[in-house]
Amino acid sequence: MKTKIAENIRFYRKQLGLTQEELAEKLCGKKSLVSNYETGYSTPDVYTLCRLAEIFDVTLDELVEWSSDTDD
């Protein structure tokens, strides 16, 4: 299984018209934090995922969006 967290963070951020820097400020972090999430370099912890879901007004399921790998 894999997740689409990185893609979804970028999608929902753009839906709200936020820059990476603006979203980082809402998370009390630096722009590089959001950039790392969106590129998949790092993954938000559970607290940050909950905060992102709250900011984006989506459920955790919608934010994480698990999908099955068909190559297994």
Q: What are the tens digits of pLDDT across the range 9-54?
A: 999 999 999 999 999 999 999 999 999 999 999 999 999 999 999 9
Residue with tokens 């979203």: 23
Confidence of residue 65 (pLDDT cuts 50, 70, 90): confident
Distance between CA atoms of residues 38 and 48, nearest Å: 14
Q: How many other C-beta atoms are found inside a 10 Å radius of the C-beta of residue 13?
A: 21
Give the pLDDT score at 1: 44
Helix (H, G, I), strand (E, B) or coil at 20: helix
Maximal CA-CA distance, the chain? 39
Separation CA 13–CA 39 (nearest Å)? 14
Domains in the chain, ordered, with CATH?
2-65 (1.10.260.40)
Global confidence as pTM = 0.86
